[in-house]
């Protein structure tokens, strides 16, 4: 559970850090726009109009004053932070309710309870235990369950419509379309990899085991060749270890951005051409994309969690 809590904290702070890096640029742009009275009434050029449409993918701070500051970096509470907190709250409430229901009656009753239990059993048996075994899987099961459902709910938030009374909040939003959020999730997996490997093997054996054993004989020339090979192998293996969280970060981020970018592009074309014909075709196409994004929301939560399970499983089972 500590790893699950750390996952949420890392994602929140990395997102806030990223927003702080761009806060001064956003503030300067807003100040420039506010300084021209014609900006509110003038028709935006096509490039700026599309930029406004794509702005729904970005992190938007809710206050001008940061809640914390580290040197020149300001930390703002954003719509992506809100999505993270709501996803975590939904997971806590839903599975707290499920646990109470299970204590009262072990038989699942009702569609919601059946759906939640089916997903939990799927992650537990078909993903975690099937890849890591029950002994090691039981230790990491809370992390992977939290990871799967938090990513799933954050993905689903992006499919919900942006109602008028939430428009100024830029919510609902897709937090997993923020690379800093996916980096925080991947950093949690990377921490679990190091934790599992060092706990299972010990620090010395973990470092030695990064490179495969090389036996070339006891001759001085063979020993020198062995050292030369290890000098090549160790940087490659360390780089491979670092590539795992990078791949997780980019995979989830790119897949979530791609679908929403396509939908926003279609909406932008409707506003750009202001044609009923293009509007009808665009809305129909986006209805199809919405159902596709619903599938992608589940699929990307599955892929991210399953790859994390494989990476951690390889760390605690170095013999495989």
- Give residue-wise pLDDT tens across range 240-286: 899 999 999 999 999 999 988 888 888 888 878 888 888 888 888 88
Residue whose C-alpha is closest to residue 81's, from 10, 31, 162:
10
> In this predicted structure, what is the pLDDT of residue 147?
95
Residue 207 tokens read as 């470092």
What long-range pairs does 36-43 form, CB within 8 A, spacing at least 24? none
The per-residue pLDDT for range 54-90, each reduced to its tens digit, is 777 888 888 888 888 888 888 889 989 999 999 999 9
Q: Which residues contact 182 (CB under 8 A, 6 or more apart)?
A: 176, 248, 249, 250, 252, 253, 256
For residue 92, pLDDT beyond 50 = yes
Residue 12's pLDDT is what? 45
Hey, which of 123-127, 156-160, 215-219 has the most confident mean pLDDT?
123-127
* Separation of alpha carbons 233 and 34, rounded Å: 57
Enter the pTM of the model: 0.81
Cis omega (within 30 of 0) for bond into 209: no
Q: What's the burial of 281, exposed, middle or buried (CB within 10 Å: 0-12/13-18/19+)?
A: middle
Q: For residues 122 and 199, what is the distance between their CA atoms, to the nearest angstrom?
A: 27
Highest mean pLDDT among 51-65, 135-149, 162-176, 222-236: 135-149
The DSSP output letter for 183 is H
Is beta strand 73-75 parallel, antiparallel or unpaired with respect to 68-70? antiparallel
pLDDT of residue 47: 67
The DSSP line for 47-115 is HHHHHHHHGGGS--BS-SS-SEEETTEEE--BHHHHHHHHHHHHHHHHHHHHHHHHHH-SS--SHHHHH
d(CA 170, CA 76): 15
CA distances from 190 to 100, 247, 281, 289 (A): 33, 11, 44, 32
Measuring CA to CA, how many Å separate 152 from each of 148, 206, 296, 301? Answer: 6, 33, 10, 5
């Amino acid at each position: 559970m500590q790893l699950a809590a750390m996952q949420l904290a890392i994602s929140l702070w990395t997102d806030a850090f990223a927003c702080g890096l761009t806060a001064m640029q956003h503030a300067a742009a807003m100040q420039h726009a506010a300084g021209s009275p014609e900006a509110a009434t003038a028709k935006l050029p096509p490039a700026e109009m599309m930029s406004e449409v794509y702005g729904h993918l970005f992190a938007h701070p809710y206050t001008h004053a940061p809640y914390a500051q580290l040197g020149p970096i300001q930390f703002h509470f954003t719509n992506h932070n809100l999505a993270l907190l709501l996803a975590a709250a939904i997971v806590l409430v839903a599975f707290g309710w499920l646990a109470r229901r299970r204590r009262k009656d072990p038989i699942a009753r009702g569609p919601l309870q059946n759906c939640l239990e089916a997903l939990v059993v799927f992650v537990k048996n078909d993903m975690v235990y099937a890849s890591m075994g029950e002994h090691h899987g039981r230790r990491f099961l809370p992390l992977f369950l939290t990871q799967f459902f938090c990513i799933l709910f954050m993905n689903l938030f992006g499919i919900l419509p942006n109602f008028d009374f939430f428009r100024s909040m830029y919510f609902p939003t897709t937090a997993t379309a923020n690379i800093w959020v996916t980096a925080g999730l991947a950093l949690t997996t990377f921490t679990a990899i190091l934790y599992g490997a060092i706990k299972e093997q010990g620090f010395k054996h973990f470092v030695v085991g990064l490179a495969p054993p090389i036996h070339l004989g006891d001759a001085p020339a063979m020993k020198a060749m062995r050292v030369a090979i290890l000098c090549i192998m160790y940087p490659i293996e360390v780089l491979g270890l670092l590539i795992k969280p990078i791949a997780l970060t980019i995979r989830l981020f790119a897949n979530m951005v791609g679908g929403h970018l396509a939908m926003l592009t279609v909406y932008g074309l409707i506003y750009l051409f202001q044609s009923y014909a293009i509007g009808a075709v665009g809305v129909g196409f986006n209805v199809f994309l919405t159902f596709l994004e619903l599938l992608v929301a589940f699929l990307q939560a599955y892929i991210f969690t399953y790859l994390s399970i494989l990476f951690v499983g390889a760390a605690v089972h170095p013999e495989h």
